[in-house]
Structures are given as C-alpha cells and as structure tokens.
Amino acid sequence: MLLSLPDEDRDFILQFVLASGSLKEMAQLYGVSYPTIRASLDRIISNLRQALNGQPPDPLTELLARLIERGELKPATARTIRSVYREALERKSQ
C-alpha cells in the first residue's frame, strides 16, 4: 500500500513519524506554514484511504492539495472549491 505512494509522500510519512507526528516540527523542517503541512498530510491520508478502498486518487483533491502546498491557494478556498464540486456531482447523479 505505502509502496504505491509517490516517493515524496513516502518521504513525508517517514519524516512525520520521525517528528513524532508533530505538524509544527514538520512545518519547520520543510520551511512551510502549518496549514501547508496539514494540507499535505490530509492529501496523503485521503490517498491512502482511497487506495485501501481500491479507488484511484481524486484528481481535484490532488490538484487543490498541490496548489496549497505551493502556496498558490489558501486551504479554506480549496475546501470551498471541493465542497462545491462534490455538491455538483451529487446533484448530477440524482
């Protein structure tokens, strides 16, 4: 399961474990903000959950997470975009 993740995600998980799960320490290590680290972790968790369920990663969630990680999008904005997208998908499937 973990081997299916990209190298950068596996490295992140390794550093996260070595930091005893401290997002604050991870933010310092990577030289980014706490919300950026939180977004990275959320993306990795989502990918792992989907892999466990035999589903491919959600492309929109991946894109939004990458934009947050690069500082091009704020987490709150990404959550709003994802929420609107999911609502539109639900309406379409009804």
In whole angstroms, how far apart are CA 86 and each of 64, 73, 77, 89, 90? Answer: 13, 18, 14, 5, 6
**φ/ψ (deg, to 5) at 43:** -65, -45
Residue 11 pLDDT > 80, yes or no? yes
Block residue for tokens 């604050």: 24
Tell me the domain boundaries of the chain.
2-93
The pLDDT-based confidence of 81 (bands split at 50, 70, 90) is: very high
pLDDT band at residue 25 using 50, 70 and 90 as cut-offs = very high
Please, which pLDDT band fits residue 61 given cuts at 50, 70 and 90?
Answer: confident
Q: Where are the alpha helices (DSSP H) in 1-94?
A: 7-18, 23-30, 34-52, 59-69, 75-93
Is 42 exposed, middle or buried, given 0-12, 13-18 or 19+ CB atoms closer than 10 A?
middle
Above 90 in pLDDT, residue 17?
Answer: yes
Q: In this predicted model, which residue has the larger pLDDT, 26 or 65?
A: 26
Task: State the average pLDDT over residues 3-19.
Answer: 88
Q: How many Cβ atoms from other residues are within 10 Å of residue 39's Cβ?
A: 23
pLDDT at 13: 94
**The pLDDT of residue 24:** 96
Nearest to 36 by CA among 60, 72, 4: 72
